[in-house]
Chains A and B, each alone.
Chain A
């Protein structure tokens, strides 16, 4: 920028200077005019005074008709060099005396005129009556050259002009100086404003040098700047925050022209802000829509928003999947103005989903395959247990049968020892059969889905007791002490469980004691606990876990019999019915077994 002959400076200086100049000129003209008028008046007064004196002095020579004296008196006017001519006229108006003596008559008026003064052609003339005792006896004439006066006036004029010029120079200097006081704050404001507009730097402040209106203006300007700066900072902050977003944030107008493009958009699409601005968004990104653009527009106009997944193209040509959300911005009249778009790159997610889908498919296939193999295995196992139940038990029956037959048919010919051996064969076969049955029972409760149904425990226990003579008097006493709750269970499993528990209770009993089992049920934590308390030999607490394991028998088989699978079957069966089994017992204190089963909530039967 060329260094400023700032127009405001020029103008202010011109205003001040011309104001000063006009004032000075008017003053000078007034002064000179006044001087001239005043000077003339003074000249007239002083000439008139002189005329009065000379007229008085000339009265005597006139009265005495002595022209020489009169001329002498006039000659005294020599002291006044400006008096160029003087004359005395007698009563008749004839020239009586003249001054200077050498003056030609033609230079004097022929006749005296009435008393008065008059400026004429560079001269001031005055006629004055010469009085004696208040009566005119003649007339005095004085002629004054105005050369001195004009000289005087010229001098004054020159002084005035000099003063005027000096004053004007001073005015110029002063105006230059004074204008600064006005223009400087204005220029400072201007500079600040220019700086702001040129640099966009709102932190600039104008210096306030006065406390007047300009000061207020500066303050207002600075306040405006700081507000703008705050706004600017807030906007910059918001823009910075928008740029922090890893989502692409794009604003487009209703003609699809991009009017905002954040850092996230730059990163996701590879187009810089300057490249993207003003471009048609869908063209730039070769957008593929999930539905027709018309449908989308209809939704956008109706709901003011739309969301969906798009496929778009980056600057480098790669296709990416984005999840996009559009919000329609309307102007004050409600006319759609802009669309705010937030895009989120979901390519990786899509890929992961694809991968997961194919992986899931693979896993499904694998699971299917494994399930099929498992089904095969289960089938084989079932076939195995079926054949165990059939084939393994048949020879046992034969062993028992033949031992029995031998004993009954040939008993008479056998000695005691032989009979004892036969008895051992019989019992071993019997025990093996029990084992096979229990193993089968265990495998049966362990496999397959079961339906749980409401079970009437009282009836079930009644049935079990009546089906087993060993649970009946006089062999044992089974007492049901409370009304038993209905439970959710599987009748066969539950029968197996209770039979096993009661079987244990009557089996593990001290010799000579009548087995007694007391059964009760109660509600515990929303479930039903069925307790079987016996008067048996009890179980040491250290064995309480082992007894529920397969072959977890803790008492010698020889003494009490049993396969050691019974409680394992109970536990498995109870678990299958979503229940639990437990025991409280000590040596010689009897045992208290309990089953926890689910209560029948809404009995529809």
Chain B
């Protein structure tokens, strides 16, 4: 229960999906701060603390990144690869959350060091279930690096 203050970063360009994700997390009673960036470049800026994101009080480093693959400018794969190259982000949990279940995407993401790969569920109920499962596993049982 000490993880409620850890920030979650959602990298998602589709505002509908952002809306549905927020609802699902809410329905699962996840209270951690959720920060959203809308493209790959913004994700890199956020995680790198560039520009306004240098303010870590307002933009804390996330414990978990929900990463969509199909993003404008810089793809999710590139963001993932970049994260895994950053020393200070090596323990950051990256969960790929995408509508693609292509084998090539799966293998590429795991190769790049994704912690998990989730396919966006088609129905809101399933998304709610997924949010609950996330909370249960990643927020209650998963041990984050202590910093």
Contacts and interface: CB of A to CB of B under 8 A. Distances in A.
Contacts of B125: 404
Contacts of A405: 19-20, 23, 124
A401 B23 contact: yes
Contacts of B98: 390
Contacts of B127: 397, 401
Nearest to A396: B122
In the A-B complex, the 3 residue pairs with the smallest Cβ-Cβ separation, listed nearest first, are: A398-B16, A404-B124, A401-B20
A326 interface: no
10 contacts: A386-B100, A389-B99, A389-B100, A390-B69, A397-B17, A397-B20, A397-B99, A398-B17, A398-B19, A492-B103
Contacts, number: 60
B123 A393 contact: no
B101 A395 contact: no
Contacts of A395: 16
B18 to A, nearest CB: 10
A390 B100 contact: yes
Contacts of B70: 387, 390-391
B102 A389 contact: yes
A345 B15 CA distance: 79
Contacts of A398: 14, 16-17, 19-20
A433 interface: yes
Contact of A430 (B19, B120, B123): B123
B67 to A, nearest CB: 14
A394 interface: yes
Interface residues of B, number: 21
B118 to A, nearest CB: 13
A384 to B, nearest CB: 13
Nearest to B19: A401
Q: Do most interface residues of chain A lie in helix, strand or loop, or is the interface mixed?
A: helix
Contact of B14 (A389, A394, A433, A437): A394
A260 interface: no
Interface string B100-125: 11110000000000000000111111
A426 to B, nearest CB: 8
Given A401-B124, A430-B123, A394 B101 contact: no
A172 interface: no
A430 B19 CA distance: 19
Contacts of B100: 386, 389-390
Contacts of A394: 14, 16-17, 99, 120
A401 B16 contact: yes
Contacts of B14: 394, 398
A397 B16 contact: yes
A219 B99 CA distance: 112
Nearest to A407: B124
A580 to B, nearest CB: 26
A387 B102 CA distance: 11
A445 B122 CA distance: 22
Interface in B81-111: 98-103
Interface in B123-144: 123-125, 127
Interface string A430-459: 100100010000000000000000000000
A387 B14 CA distance: 14
A400 interface: yes
A387 B75 CA distance: 14
Interface string A205-217: 0000000000000
